[in-house]
Amino acid sequence: MIIESVELVALPNAPPYQEKIYRAHMETSEDMDLFQAHLDVPLPPQTLVGLTVEEALRKRAERMLAAAGAH
């Protein structure tokens, strides 16, 4: 499944650390919540368009590891 678009969505009544999530709109017309947003690991939603879910998760993991290594 290929990601057609991604948006940051605010979750009602969520704790501050889980304020927003990345919601992907797939080529199959399904919506999927990918992962929560982290302030210290910016990942523009548009950079996930055209990827599979697995590729998007890998990209996020790489970003998280790079940010952790920088601190």
pLDDT of the chain, 71 residues: tens digit per residue: 999 999 999 888 888 777 799 999 999 999 999 998 887 788 999 999 999 999 999 999 999 999 888 76
- Alpha-carbon distance 46 to 6, whole Å? 6
On whether the CB atoms of residues 23 and 10 are closer than 8 A, the answer is no
Q: pTM for the complete prediction?
A: 0.84
34 sits in which H/E element: strand 31-36
CA angle, residues 52, 42, 26, in degrees to nearest 5: 25
On whether the CB atoms of residues 18 and 11 are closer than 8 A, the answer is yes
In total, how many domains does the chain have? 1
Parent domain of 38: 3-70
Q: Compute CA distances 56 → 18, 24, 45, whole Å.
A: 19, 10, 10
